[in-house]
Structure 1
Amino acid sequence: MTRVIRWNIDNKVFWPALIMVIGFSAPFVIAPRTGERLLGAVLSRLQSDLGWAYMWFVAGLAVLLVWLVLSRYGRIRMGDPDDRPEFSTPTWLAMIFTAAIGGGLMYWGIIEWAHYHGAPPYQLEPHSTEAAEWSATYPLFHWGPTAWAVFCVPTLALAYAYHVRRVRRLRLSEACRGVLGDRVDGWPGRVIDVFFILGMIGAAGTSLALAVPTVAEGASRMLGVEPGATLNTVVIGLWTLLFAGSVALGLHRGLKRLANLNLYLAAALGALVLAVGPTVFVIDTFTNSVGLLAQNIVRMSTYTDPVGGSGFEEVWTVFYWGWWISYGPFVGMFCAKISKGRTVRQIIVGMCGFGSLGCWLSFALLGNSSMAFELRGEAPVVETLETEGAVSAIFATLEAFPLSWAVTPLFLLLLLVFLATTLDSASYTMGAATSRDLPNEVEPSRPNRVLWALVLAAVSVSVMSAGGTDALQTLSVVTAFPLIVVLSLVAASLVRWLREHDRDRSGASGPARDGGPVPGDRTGA
């Protein structure tokens, strides 16, 4: 069992991070249009001039994982040779999945295809048969194994540092120690950790910016309440109570139970949609999409459209890669904490395999159903998206289901709990990143965890009330660019550590063999 140390805050990381978060939020409350315009200009330059960097980086991480899972390094266990996993496999997978994707999957799961249908890649005719096929395929790419590689690499590096090298701090900077050495104890490490907190605010805020209006619209439709900023604030308040209460209970009593609840609700919604929805179309389209993805994954990973200039990869692929990169360190820290006793191969297969499959099922059941309603003339999903926006298009789909009175509330409940689990995990990892000392059996202090939960809610309310929801989404892509450099150091450290581990295991006997601490570990006092 884990235990909690009271307070245990590292002032050199905690206060600079908190000040930077407040400093970022203030301009979007005081002058939201100016702040969004400046941030948007940075985003536009990154997407148009440096989008290729995002694409090469993500593809490189995917290749690295393929090499690791097929190599002898895949057998290395995160901990001692006799360590066994702390959580059962279903619970471990549920915690990984729900911490990683949050409410964004429920939002995009229904209507992402509709964006591509009207503005498809590869110079295809909008609203054509080919556009429809690629519209069902691209979400599988953006939420598939390539994307999950961005989460998996920092997970492996942090898990190795935490469970094998026995570091006493669960921070992104510790995953760079294999390259930077003791410099991570100085200002370079502080900068990395503070920047991680800022990126986390943007990434989690993006999920809130997508999910809050959806839940608020659902409450408005079902309860007859007037939509607007007040209702959004009430929704965020309810969310805060849910995930702050869970994070206060800790990893075992709070987050674990919330993740399992997510799994049960997702299974119930999936079974209901499959039973009452366009089942044959859903399965046929999913099968076709998997085949199309398998045949074209290299093309999709490197598609920049320099001649056609459609901007498809800038608007979508680069945005998604930036979002995943911003989330990567957070997911890596959380998944590393819960992955003691797992091997390198198990972590890769669990995250890139099960994680991708979970996302694909969402797009298959919800997205393909939405497409079926559009093509059969049962719901004007694309037209609603273009004229009224994404939230209205989501409800156009939900209301087209038979038994929509059951599907819609279950969808909204799952969205609520999904995002609560993600924000719970985010608060937990931000508490870990700002803790002074965090051995394996210790959790971040309760005040620290709850404070970051409240900060997430406060920033989201203030920015959304000022009309700056796009700023939260833009920030996640902008902060991802320097994180490319940081995560490259993480990947290089991982490879160096695994090679040293394998060499020590094959050489002299001693504590460095078979998962024990290796030379140069930092076990603390």
Structure 2
Amino acid sequence: MLKNKLKLVDWQLLIIPVVCIFALSGFFITNSAEARKVLEGIRSFFSHYFSFYYVMIAIVFFGGSVLLAFSKYGKIKLGNGDPEYSSIKWGMMIFTSTMSADIIFYSLSEWMMYSNESFIKNKSGSHLEWALTYSLFHWGPIAWSFYIFLAVAFGYMLYVTKNRKQKFSEACRPILKHKTDGALGKIIDLVAIFSLIAATATTFSMSMPLLAASVGSLLGIKNQQILSLGLLCAVVGVYLVISILGMKAMSRLSIIAFSVFGLLIIYVLLFSGQELFISSLGLRSLGNLVVNFPQMTVITKVNSFTENWTIYYWSYWMVWCVATPFFIGSISKGRTIRNLIFGGYAWGLAGTYLSFIVLSGFGISRQTAGIINAPQLLSNGSTYAEVIIQLLQTLPNYQLVLILLILAMVGLYSTVFDSITMVISKYSYKSLSLENEPSKLMRGFWAVIFIILPIALLFNNDSIYDIQSVAIITAIPTGFVMLLIIASFWKEVRGKQGTDFKN
């Protein structure tokens, strides 16, 4: 029995990434200075000379998804029957499976990161208002277009053409044909696996210090590195329990995580005493985004801000495109392409914009009122996590806020873990039909492997710039595959022009 199961495993796609993870982790830990220098050099090269590449992909995906939704192909139904999940449950699963705990970290800190940027300071009007505007831009329609357009392609592959494999390479079959089953297909799948590893490492390394600082503040624990390690293991433990309980437990955890996340936002909004300031700032920033969206999208002049932030974010979303679109596509059976696109945008933007407007607005309100000087604290050596804790301590009964933040972050980590381990485990098999799921042992194995590189980065004390570099570098080959998948999808769907796709 065990021998038959082992024959199903694609050992090349299992062993090569695992060996590379251990090798990279060892290199980061034992040669931290050299590793930092290598990352900075490669990132600088890609950001400067490949900026047009990232921007081009952003335009293709956002414009292409909107065009597809309004075209006749928007009526295509992904599979037969009614949708498996209600619209509310479906929307919550989309948000919680795509937005990890880093949305809380960035919502509370990104305005600080931008506030000292000369590019933002030179904008006419309030520079803090522009800081929020660029947060809404970087977490807005273009970011979600990467997920949504690919989710359509994967949903179409799973439920319309019914391809027998659930891999990145399989989505390229309309163009690559038999080459999909050869070395080229293997390379594409390895790119996908390495992208997901980079995405996970970036997410955990960026936001875990905030979770550790929150727990440390409540319990009086000062050793943040050991606490981060313990919390990483706790997140894996929660995920493993949910994965054993199955998809029904996953959907329930999504609802719980979304609800706690909502309670956190509501508490901050109502008890900050700045409801009018936050809502006014949010509306003005949204207005700035709408008016300036075209020129912000089509970057004609690359500067340090766009290299460090806009290019980073497009890279960040691109490396996450391996797992999240597959998951969104898999839970969208019975929906039309148009419904998936508009519903995905609606739920995605509602959640991210509400988070940034309220949590960033709260921080900006404290900054403008002189209650806290975040940029000054950061320049004096405080970490972002430490400044965020100080911000939250200005709220009444701030311990309750920290509890909500901890529960929301653990819940979001766990739901994302479920989707990414489900996807990457499928890559570890030679072939896995849609009806079959990876074994719990395989998913548990990848859950443990996924935390190795984040642990190396956390214990290496890498800066945010260094951690971001991992995503920017990995996004180069991922972008090529993404474009190939979209071209394959268009070829496949246009080949069925004579078929009646009406509901």
Fold match (TM-score > 0.5): yes
Secondary structure in 1 aligned to 2:78?
A: coil
Question: Structure 2 residue aligned with 1:290, among 282, 286, 305?
Answer: 286
Paired amino acid for 2:402: T
1:82-135: CA deviations, max 9, x gaps? Answer: x2222222221111111111011000001111222221536616xx84312211
Question: Structure 2 residue aligned with 1:241, among 232, 237, 240?
Answer: 237
Q: Which residue of 2 aligns with 1:118?
A: 116
Displacement of 1:469:
6.4
After superposition, where does 1:209-248 map in structure 2 within 5 Å?
Answer: 209-248=205-244
Q: Which residue of 2 aligns with 1:394?
A: 388
Displacement of 1:393:
2.0
Q: Which residue of 2 aligns with 1:302?
A: 298
Q: Does 1:360 align with 2:353?
A: yes
Q: Which residue of 2 aligns with 1:438?
A: 432
1:474-521: CA deviations, max 9, x gaps? Answer: 2111110111111110111111122123x1315xxxxxx669xxxxxx
Q: Which residue of 2 aligns with 1:47?
A: 47
Q: Which residue of 1 aligns with 2:421?
A: 427
**CA distance in structure 1 between the aligned counterparts of 2:378 and 2:70, rounded to whole angstroms:** 43
Paired amino acid for 2:367: E
Contact 1:112 1:139 in 2 (8 A): yes
**CA distance in structure 2 between the aligned counterparts of 1:6 and 1:367, rounded to whole angstroms:** 49
Displacement of 1:6:
5.9
Question: Structure 1 residue aligned with 2:410, among 407, 412, 416?
Answer: 416
Aligned sequence identity (%): 25
Q: Which residue of 1 aligns with 2:97?
A: 99
Secondary structure in 2 aligned to 1:283?
A: helix
Question: Structure 2 residue aligned with 1:188, among 177, 184, 191?
Answer: 184
Question: Where does the alignment leave 5 or more consecutive residues of structure 2 unmatched?
Answer: none
Displacement of 1:467:
3.2
After superposition, where does 1:144-163 map in structure 2 within 5 Å?
Answer: 144-163=140-159
Identify the range of structure 1 (235-244 vs 11-20) with the bigger mean alpha-carbon deviation.
Answer: 11-20
Contact 1:75 1:345 in 2 (8 A): yes
**CA distance in structure 1 between the aligned counterparts of 2:202 and 2:300, rounded to whole angstroms:** 25
**CA distance in structure 2 between the aligned counterparts of 1:284 and 1:216, rounded to whole angstroms:** 32
Contact 2:96 2:412 in 1 (8 A): yes
TM-score normalised to structure 1 length: 0.90
Secondary structure in 2 aligned to 1:443?
A: coil
**CA distance in structure 2 between the aligned counterparts of 1:122 and 1:377, rounded to whole angstroms:** 20
Paired amino acid for 1:176: C
Q: Which residue of 2 aligns with 1:85?
A: 83
Q: Which residue of 2 aligns with 1:201?
A: 197
Identify the range of structure 1 (436-445 vs 274-283) with the bigger mean alpha-carbon deviation.
Answer: 436-445
1:378-421: CA deviations, max 9, x gaps? Answer: 22223223331211221122112233222222112211211221
Secondary structure in 1 aligned to 2:375?
A: helix
Q: Which residue of 1 aligns with 2:325?
A: 332
Question: Structure 1 residue aligned with 2:365, among 344, 369, 372?
Answer: 372
Q: Which residue of 1 aligns with 2:18?
A: 18
Per the alignment, do residues 430 and 295 of structure 1 end up closer, same or farther by CA in structure 2, a change over 3 Å counting?
same
Displacement of 1:303:
2.8
Question: Structure 1 residue aligned with 2:257, among 222, 237, 262?
Answer: 262
1:272-314: CA deviations, max 9, x gaps? Answer: 12221211111111111111111110111123535xx4x1100
Contact 1:75 1:344 in 2 (8 A): yes
Paired amino acid for 1:260: I
Question: Structure 1 residue aligned with 2:343, among 329, 332, 350?
Answer: 350
Secondary structure in 1 aligned to 2:47?
A: helix
Per the alignment, do residues 107 and 304 of structure 1 end up closer, same or farther by CA in structure 2, a change over 3 Å counting?
farther
Kindly tell me the number of residue pairs found equivalent between the two proteins.
496
Q: Does 1:499 align with 2:494?
A: yes
Paired amino acid for 1:76: I
1:213-235: CA deviations, max 9, x gaps? Answer: 11111122211112232222111
Paired amino acid for 1:367: S
Displacement of 1:440:
2.1
Paired amino acid for 1:197: I
Contact 1:6 1:446 in 2 (8 A): no
Displacement of 1:65:
0.8
**CA distance in structure 2 between the aligned counterparts of 1:292 and 1:275, rounded to whole angstroms:** 25
Question: Structure 2 residue aligned with 1:171, among 164, 167, 170?
Answer: 167
Contact 2:269 2:362 in 1 (8 A): no
Paired amino acid for 2:21: V
Contact 1:58 1:146 in 2 (8 A): yes
Displacement of 1:328:
1.1
**CA distance in structure 2 between the aligned counterparts of 1:504 and 1:23, rounded to whole angstroms:** 52
**CA distance in structure 1 between the aligned counterparts of 2:28 and 2:198, rounded to whole angstroms:** 13
Contact 1:193 1:433 in 2 (8 A): yes
Question: Structure 2 residue aligned with 1:456, among 444, 447, 450?
Answer: 450
Contact 2:120 2:130 in 1 (8 A): no
**CA distance in structure 2 between the aligned counterparts of 1:381 and 1:106, rounded to whole angstroms:** 17
Displacement of 1:172:
0.8
**CA distance in structure 2 between the aligned counterparts of 1:23 and 1:448, rounded to whole angstroms:** 21
Secondary structure in 2 aligned to 1:444?
A: coil
Displacement of 1:144:
0.7
Q: Which residue of 2 aligns with 1:37?
A: 37
1:429-469: CA deviations, max 9, x gaps? Answer: 11122223322222111111110001012332234223346
Contact 2:25 2:452 in 1 (8 A): no
- RMSD, aligned α-carbons: 2.0
**CA distance in structure 2 between the aligned counterparts of 1:514 and 1:19, rounded to whole angstroms:** 48
**CA distance in structure 2 between the aligned counterparts of 1:6 and 1:271, rounded to whole angstroms:** 48
Identify the range of structure 1 (92-101 vs 397-406) with the bigger mean alpha-carbon deviation.
Answer: 397-406
TM-score normalised to structure 2 length: 0.94
Contact 2:168 2:322 in 1 (8 A): yes
Secondary structure in 1 aligned to 2:322?
A: helix
Q: Which residue of 2 aligns with 1:510?
A: none
1:248-274: CA deviations, max 9, x gaps? Answer: 333233x22221111111221222122
**CA distance in structure 1 between the aligned counterparts of 2:65 and 2:448, rounded to whole angstroms:** 36
Contact 2:153 2:171 in 1 (8 A): yes
Contact 1:385 1:392 in 2 (8 A): no
Q: Which residue of 2 aligns with 1:75?
A: 75
Contact 1:209 1:469 in 2 (8 A): no
Contact 1:203 1:323 in 2 (8 A): yes
Identify the range of structure 1 (99-108 vs 472-481) with the bigger mean alpha-carbon deviation.
Answer: 472-481
